[in-house]
Structure 1
Amino acid sequence: MISFAPGLNTVAVTIQTAIAPVFLLAGIGAILNVLAGRLSRIIDRTRALEALHPRSTGPEHDRHVWELRILDRRISLTNAAISLCVASAVAVCVVVALLFVARIVDLRIGYAVAILFIVAMAMLTTGLLLFLLEVRVSLKAIHVRADLLEHQRK
Structure 2
Amino acid sequence: MLQYSPAVSTIAQTIQLSLSPVFMLAGIGALLNVLTGRLARVIDRARVLEGLHPRSHGPEHDRHVWELRLLDRRIVIINRALYLAVFSAVMTCSVVALLFIAELAGLRIGQFVATAFVLSMVLLIAALISFLVEVRMSLRAVEVREELLR
Could you tell me which residue of structure 2 aligns to residue 4 of structure 1?
Answer: 4
Deviation at residue 69 of structure 1 after TM alignment? 0.5
Give, in whole Å, the separation in 1 of the partners of 2:42 and 2:124.
22
Alignment of 1:146 onto 2:143: no
CA deviation digits over 1:85-119, x for unaligned, max 9? 00000000000000000000011110011011101
Alignment of 1:20 onto 2:56: no
Could you tell me which residue of structure 1 aligns to residue 31 of structure 2?
Answer: 31
Q: Structure 1 counterpart of 2:56, which letter?
A: S
What secondary structure sits across from 2:14 in the alignment?
helix
Could you tell me which residue of structure 1 aligns to residue 84 of structure 2?
Answer: 84
Could you tell me which residue of structure 2 aligns to residue 107 of structure 1?
Answer: 107
Give, in whole Å, the separation in 1 of the partners of 2:30 and 2:139.
23
Could you tell me which residue of structure 2 aligns to residue 116 of structure 1?
Answer: 116
Could you tell me which residue of structure 1 aligns to residue 57 of structure 2?
Answer: 57
Query: Structure 2 regions of 5+ residues with no counterpart?
Result: none
What secondary structure sits across from 2:63 in the alignment?
helix
Query: Structure 1 regions of 5+ residues with no counterpart?
Result: none
Alignment of 1:93 onto 2:93: yes
Q: TM-score, normalised by structure 1?
A: 0.94
Structure 1 vs Structure 2 CA RMSD: 1.2
Give, in whole Å, the separation in 1 of the partners of 2:22 and 2:8.
20
What secondary structure sits across from 1:4 in the alignment?
coil
Give, in whole Å, the separation in 2 of the partners of 1:17 and 1:25.
14
Give, in whole Å, the separation in 1 of the partners of 2:82 and 2:76.
10
What secondary structure sits across from 1:36 in the alignment?
helix
Could you tell me which residue of structure 1 aligns to residue 136 of structure 2?
Answer: 136
Q: Structure 2 counterpart of 1:74, which letter?
A: R
Deviation at residue 3 of structure 1 after TM alignment? 4.2
Deviation at residue 6 of structure 1 after TM alignment? 2.8
Q: Structure 1 counterpart of 2:139, which letter?
A: L
Deviation at residue 11 of structure 1 after TM alignment? 1.1
Could you tell me which residue of structure 2 aligns to residue 46 of structure 1?
Answer: 46
Q: Structure 1 counterpart of 2:124, which letter?
A: L
What secondary structure sits across from 2:118 in the alignment?
helix
Give, in whole Å, the separation in 1 of the partners of 2:48 and 2:4.
62
Q: Structure 1 counterpart of 2:46, which letter?
A: T
Q: Structure 2 counterpart of 1:89, which letter?
A: A
Q: Is the contact between residue 10 and residue 104 of structure 1 (CA under 8 Å) also seen in structure 2?
A: no
Deviation at residue 10 of structure 1 after TM alignment? 1.8
